[in-house]
Every structure is written in C-alpha cells, then in structure tokens.
Chains A and B, each alone.
Chain A
Amino acid sequence: MIRSRLWLKTTLLIFIEASKSSPLVKYEVESNTLEITGECYPENAVKFFTPIFQWLEGEIKSLESPLLTVNLNISYFNSSTSKSLMNFFDMLEEAHDKGKEIVVNWIYMEENETAEECGEEFQEDLENLPFNLVIIDSEQII
C-alpha cells in the first residue's frame, strides 16, 4: 500500500542497506528527507556514492518540491568519504543558490568530539547552505 503511494511521486527513490563499512542511506518521500546513518569507510567511496549523487541530480531538478532535509549521522568515515561528502555538499549548495530549499543536519553524539570538529570543518567550508550541527545524547539512540 505504501509502495503504491510512493510510486505516485516522480522523484527517484533511494535505499541502501547498512553494512559493516557503509551507512544506511534512506530517502523518505513523505518528509522529503534523505538520511545517512552509520560508519562510512567503503572500499570504493566513488562507487558507493555514485547512486547517491545520481539520486541528488534528479532531486535538485525539481525546484518546486518542498524543503529537502538531509540528516547525516556518520560517526566515523575515511578520507575518500570526506571528499565525497564535500562534493555532495557543493552540489547541495549549488542547488540552494539556485533557489531550492535545502537544510543539512550534521548529527553527532554529545561525547564525540571528532564528529563535532569534522561537522565544523564541513560547515565552515560552505558559504550559503544551511548546515546545522545537531547534538544528541546517548539516551536518544533508537
């Protein structure tokens, strides 16, 4: 039933199951939210991120769609992932500058100073894209 409702939307769907070295990637059509959760150190970051970039290319074409929320909760990632994320944010920023409503939430655990500092690096690298640092405490994990 849910599936038939999803098909009504023209937007591409994306769902990648989490593995030991790669995060869960999930797009929720109802809230127009992309979620990436987990550790990210895939053997081939380009290969891993390709479907995500393809999805994003389709998504940013439709300027009239509601606010796109990107929730990232990546506690550990390798260097090629950080570069991929920067490319990803650049694409989002470009779309944002063209008028698409986008907000990125960089979510991390209270005691994870490294995740906080990395979030700040990403934040400082961007000029206009709304990029929030969101702290969750240990009890908020589901």
Chain B
Amino acid sequence: MSAEDLFQKELDILAEARQQIKNNTYSENPLLPEYQAMTKHYKKLLNQAKRLVTMSDRMQKDLNELNHRLEKLSSLDGLTGIPNRRWFDLTYATEWKRAQRNETPLSVIMMDIDYFKRFNDTYGHAAGDNCLQQVAQALSSGAKRSMEFVARYGGEEFVAVLPGTDLKGGQIVAETMRDLVEKLKIPHLKSEVSDHVTISVGIASLKLPLNRDIKSQTLINAADNMLYKAKDNGRNRVCP
C-alpha cells in the first residue's frame, strides 16, 4: 500500500475543504484567508505525516534486517559455519515434538573424529581447525533431505538429526557420512585405525509406536552410547 492510499482519508478531507472554500457562499466570508491558510497548513502537516511513516518504515526495515543477520549469526558455529549447539538444542526440541505429535520416525546420529587430540598435537591447532571445517562440510553434504541437518555438538563431536527417518534409513545415512569423511583423505599418521582422519558413529531412532514417557534427551543419550560402542569396537565404524 502506498502512502497515498494510506492517507486517503486525509486527502479527501483536504479536497473537501478546498471545495468548500471555492464555493460562492464563502467568497464574502471575512475569515476566508484564514481558512485558506489553515488548509495550506493541513496539507503541510499531512505531507510531514507521510514522510514520518516513510522514514519510520525505512528505519524499521534496517533493524529487521540486522535482527535477521544476528539471528543467523547466533545459530552458526563460528569455525565451521554449520549450525551450532544452540541451534541444535532449539531445532531438535521442535523436531522431537513434531515426531511425537505426528507419530513419525526420528533418528539422531552422534559422530566423533577418531584420535582428534593426537591430530591436534601432531599437526597443530591450525591444521586441527582446518580438519574440523572439512569434516563439518563433508557431514553436512551427507544430510540431503529437507529438515535434515548436521550441527557441531561440541569440540570434535557432531550431531545429525533425521526427521522422518527410521533406524534402517538412518544407518544408510550414517554409513554415508562415515564414508564421506574417510574420502576426504586428510592424513593422520598418529591414528591407530587408518592413515587418514576417520569418524566413529552412533545412531539411535525413535521406535514406533511411540512410548510417550520417554524424554527427548533419551534419544541423544542412546545415540551417544552407540557412539561409545563404535569407539570400543575399533572406531571408524557405525553402531549399531
């Protein structure tokens, strides 16, 4: 809606006032010049009101854009550019509720870079940061379906959330992600399981029909336990 439409009522009043002044009945009125001055003043104030709205909208637009930028920034991990833990916490809670409401499957994949401390100690922190960035990008490329996402969970740990995917489908995605990291071929001489950087992967899924008593954290804990099992079973693998 343009400012002209927004102030149509005021414009109509102004037009009517002008018409009244033009009418012959007023031509003899000694107050005519004052009426004319008042009409002129009204027009000036109306224009100012229009300008005020224009300026106010403009400022508000700037603030909204800034707000969106900040919101986006606050949801991304500064190093890797993928969603951060904060964003994961918020979005996972939403997906959990959706799965409960719609009785749809939900899978969580927890991933951890194998022997990452040794990698850092051997190649330095800059190489460590670079490794995290490459792994984060590779894992993100493995989350293909809409609503699927990978977030940095903390340190060298990543988490993937797969709404609508059951354990069987989740295992395929998990294996793809493990493979994507292996294919990066980032040299890691101090790893005991490979010459390259690898990840261990744990996956857990909601069972249908849903048990309404379980909490959202339970699924994360289950995936985390599977991750430890993958570590215990020799790393660079998916469990179960």
Query: Which A residues fall within an 8 A CB radius of B?
Result: 76-79, 82-83, 86, 114, 117-118, 121-122, 124-125
- Across the interface, do A114 and B48 meet the contact criterion of CB distance under 8 Å? no
Query: Which B residues fall within an 8 A CB radius of A?
Result: 47-48, 51-52, 54-56, 58-59, 62
Q: How far is the CA of A121 from the CA of B49 in the complex (A)?
A: 11
- Across the interface, do B58 and A125 meet the contact criterion of CB distance under 8 Å? no
Q: How far is the CA of A121 from the CA of B59 in the complex (A)?
A: 13
If A82-B55, A117-B58 are given as contacts, then 7 extra A-B residue pairs at C-beta distance below 8 Å, sorted by A number, are: A79-B55, A82-B56, A83-B48, A83-B52, A114-B59, A114-B62, A125-B47
Rounded to whole Å, the gap between the CB of A40 and the closest CB of chain B is: 11
Q: Can you spell out 25 A-B residue pairs with CB atoms less than 8 angstroms apart? A: A78-B56, A78-B59, A79-B52, A79-B55, A79-B56, A82-B51, A82-B55, A82-B56, A83-B48, A86-B48, A86-B51, A86-B52, A114-B58, A114-B59, A114-B62, A117-B55, A118-B55, A118-B58, A118-B59, A121-B51, A121-B54, A122-B51, A124-B51, A125-B47, A125-B51
Rounded to whole Å, the gap between the CB of B126 and the closest CB of chain A is: 31
Rounded to whole Å, the gap between the CB of A38 and the closest CB of chain B is: 15
Q: How far is the CA of A114 from the CA of B57 in the complex (A)?
A: 10
Q: How far is the CA of A80 from the CA of B62 in the complex (A)?
A: 18
Rounded to whole Å, the gap between the CB of A92 and the closest CB of chain B is: 15
Closest residue of chain A to B45 (Cβ to Cβ) is A86
B residues less than 8 Å from A121 (CB atoms):
51, 54-55
Q: How far is the CA of A114 from the CA of B60 in the complex (A)?
A: 10
Q: How far is the CA of A76 from the CA of B56 in the complex (A)?
A: 10
Rounded to whole Å, the gap between the CB of A1 and the closest CB of chain B is: 43
Closest residue of chain B to A118 (Cβ to Cβ) is B55
Rounded to whole Å, the gap between the CB of A98 and the closest CB of chain B is: 17
| List of 7 A-B pairs having minimum Cβ-Cβ separation, nearest first | A121-B51, A79-B56, A118-B55, A82-B55, A86-B48, A114-B58, A114-B62
Closest residue of chain A to B62 (Cβ to Cβ) is A114
Tell me which of B47, B48, B54, B59 contacts A77 (CB under 8 A): B59
Rounded to whole Å, the gap between the CB of B238 and the closest CB of chain A is: 50
Closest residue of chain A to B58 (Cβ to Cβ) is A114
- Across the interface, do B59 and A76 meet the contact criterion of CB distance under 8 Å? yes
Q: How far is the CA of A76 from the CA of B51 in the complex (A)?
A: 16
B residues less than 8 Å from A78 (CB atoms):
56, 59
Q: How far is the CA of A117 from the CA of B57 in the complex (A)?
A: 12
- Across the interface, do B59 and A125 meet the contact criterion of CB distance under 8 Å? no
Q: How far is the CA of A72 from the CA of B59 in the complex (A)?
A: 17
Rounded to whole Å, the gap between the CB of A97 and the closest CB of chain B is: 14
Closest residue of chain A to B51 (Cβ to Cβ) is A121
